[in-house]
Structure 1
């Protein structure tokens, strides 16, 4: 069974390094999900911890879990109020122009019986803002840091495609799914301030499939 590293722990919070390929909810087709692993993440507490936010199945890295209902309510409010620092690393399947910038493109959900659902950039969509900077380059690939001001579904994936001109490597929805066994997106850092307590600070090390591409940081 895949190990789930603990990046931060105290009486009301856990931050785990979610493995790529582990969905938060049980898939309709069956298989293991984070729900099946919550019992082992009680770590001596009686209650099951609850995820405060979401990461896609393919996305690895920092995932915050609350250890009681009061903490879940406060943490969720902090995400809603945009008080949480969320930093991702992603491999863009192209050579990104420039070194840094901000992408502000509203996002909207569309769906069809043939293709299923996806997010698109649309004026009438919900506001979405991503700050980015290039970390390293290889021929045809760019390692980019994404700092999310908002937290919309598939925000980094759509902003990479529409704002930077190329999808994330391995993305089967917004790209061709080639070049990697998964969409190469990693939640590398999470910081959440807390009133009267030290902030929750967690950093997830770069995963082997991104490090193995040979980027020099």
Structure 2
């Protein structure tokens, strides 16, 4: 098993580049999974680590862990109080420009895991800023309505942390993220599998900025845009 790429490491924190498809921790909702980021980081550095936020299984990118309970408490509080700034890159269907979406989201509940949760909870505030980085029109008819297909490479900044917020917000704008099997467009997902050998959700957590919980110094973590997200955009360097 190859080691996970380390993005940042000090006495109290470690951040890794989580591959798409890897669970953060064990979940009975994915009983078939045998590998987890939490366990792999622990084994890789030889000590216990504490998750302070999460990434969906199909999302790749920066995943931060604390190395002790006190640091975990401070970082969890920072995430809860929106003191951590997160950035993502994604490929969406169609041409989407720059903007900000303020669209409350009702909590997505699992029928079994959340059977005791409040089923009538009001939608919670959810805000996402988005900027277009590149657009491409490809000479393929994925939809019967159009002779070509258009896609946008986006930079997304969630200002809140709702479950599946980015995927649901892009779907609400009618520009779903490619590879999203729950909120996306199966025809375009299939096209990217066949044309670009992309078999994943084209969403990656590429930046994370926060004040170090002990020193107060600014920590700014960044990753390059994954190759899978740029294959459809020949003009990108």
TM tier relative to shorter chain: 0.7 to 0.9
Pair 1:203-2:222 in alignment: yes
Cα separation, 1, equivalents of 2:168 and 2:33:
28
The structure 2 residue matched to 1:40, chosen from 39, 43, 67, is 43
Pair 1:191-2:209 in alignment: yes
Cα deviation, residue 123, structure 1: 10
Higher strand residue share: 1
Cα separation, 2, equivalents of 1:57 and 1:9:
23
The structure 1 residue matched to 2:123, chosen from 122, 125, 133, is 125
**For residues 145-160 of structure 1, what are the structure 2 equivalents within 5 Å?**
145-160=155-170
Contact 1:136/1:215, CA 8 A, preserved across alignment:
no
Cα separation, 1, equivalents of 2:226 and 2:105:
28
Structure 1 segments of 4+ aligned residues over 2 angstroms from their partners: 38-43, 109-113, 194-197, 211-217
Query: Please, what TM-score do these two structures have when normalized by structure 2?
Result: 0.79
Contact 1:85/1:191, CA 8 A, preserved across alignment:
yes
Higher helix residue share: 2
Cα–Cα, structure 1 residues 110 and 57, in superposed 2: closer, same or farther, change >3 Å?
A: closer
Pair 1:212-2:231 in alignment: yes
Equivalent residue number for residue 6 of structure 1: 6
Pair 1:171-2:204 in alignment: no
Cα separation, 2, equivalents of 1:149 and 1:112:
24
**Paired residues, number:** 205
Query: Please, what TM-score do these two structures have when normalized by structure 1?
Result: 0.86
Cα deviation code 1:168-208 (max 9, x no counterpart): 00110001341241111000100011363322221112112
Contact 2:107/2:121, CA 8 A, preserved across alignment:
no
Equivalent residue number for residue 78 of structure 2: 78
Pair 1:17-2:17 in alignment: yes
Cα–Cα, structure 1 residues 208 and 3, in superposed 2: closer, same or farther, change >3 Å?
A: farther
Contact 2:4/2:41, CA 8 A, preserved across alignment:
no
Cα separation, 2, equivalents of 1:201 and 1:141:
29
Pair 1:28-2:23 in alignment: no
More displaced 10-residue stretch of structure 1: 184-193 or 34-43: 34-43
Cα–Cα, structure 1 residues 106 and 207, in superposed 2: closer, same or farther, change >3 Å?
A: same
Q: In terms of Rg, which structure is larger? A: 2
Q: Which runs of 5+ in 1 are unaligned?
A: 114-121
Cα separation, 2, equivalents of 1:24 and 1:123:
27
